[in-house]
Amino acid sequence: MTTSQNNKIAFVSGATSGFGRAIAFRLAKLGYRLIITGRRNERLHRISQQLKEEYSTDVFSLCFDIRDKNACEQAIQSLPADFQNIDLLVNNAGLAAGASSFEESDIADFEQMVDTNIKGLLYITKLIVPKMVERKSGHIINISSIAGIEVYPGGSVYCATKHAVNAITKGLRIDLVKYGIKVSSISPGMAETEFSLVRYHGDAEKAKAVYAGLVPLNAEDIADAVEFIVTRPKHVSINDIQINPAQQANTYISFRNT
């Protein structure tokens, strides 16, 4: 049985597709009021309308790039008074760019991953945490990856960024526990969203091949994990959840049907 989260405010970054979109809809179902962010304004508007129509919840959308520190500051400062006391922050925005061996990879891909997965997460968290500290209440969920636990060929920099996310999560948990703020992480294995399409710079054939012969996770599986985390009693903190497809043993060993 789930617990109603009526009138609580959740901030979900990267909500225009994949995990973020599914998480936003699940939180709306649980009764949260929502702040959703992304870089695609048309999608944000459409998702906002769908959330309002399906769940009769309040939704405030922010279109900006989390890699831009000034844009992050302006976005948070633009929140109306009744959306400023954020109870739940879901740092979902992130990506992989490129899958080449290190010596053949592109420095621009490195910068995009570091700026999005690490710096963007830090910018948003730093802007939202002070009010949680002031109220001595709040919850942060960082969407990490199995890549933050194990490294695999062709993923050195992406893996490094997700290892950083896990380290930041643990550090935040230590620093914020005295304020009653929970800090959790979810580390998915292979999941079929837009992730691989982005990683392969729009090459649909390469993206599809990633999941050949197995049943990958989907966005709803991650929304399930978020729901489990946020519906625990106040005295319970789910620190970390790792979720793999049943056919995936670790980052580089999977059983595929031929």
**Residue 38's domain is classified under what CATH number?**
3.40.50.720
List the catalytic residue out of 158, 200, 211, 252: 158
Percent residues over pLDDT 70 in the chain? 98
Residue 23: inside a domain: yes
Residue 235: inside a domain: yes
Could you tell me if 254 and 191 are in contact, meaning their C-beta atoms sit under 8 angstroms apart?
Answer: no
Domain enclosing residue 163, as ranges: 9-243
Provide the pLDDT confidence category of residue 171 given band limits of 50, 70 and 90: very high
Total number of domains constituting the chain: 1
pLDDT at 18 over 80: yes
For all residues of the chain together, what is the average pLDDT? 96
Provide the pLDDT confidence category of residue 4 given band limits of 50, 70 and 90: low
pLDDT at 2 over 50: no
Mark whether 32 is an active-site residue. Answer: no
Residue 49: inside a domain: yes
Residue 2: inside a domain: no
Residue 141: inside a domain: yes
Residue 145: inside a domain: yes
Q: Which letter, b or e, does each residue of 215-243 get, where b requires 16 or more Cβ atoms within 10 Å of its Cβ? A: ebbbbebbbebbbebbeeeeeeebebbeb
Residue 253: inside a domain: no
Residue 254: inside a domain: no
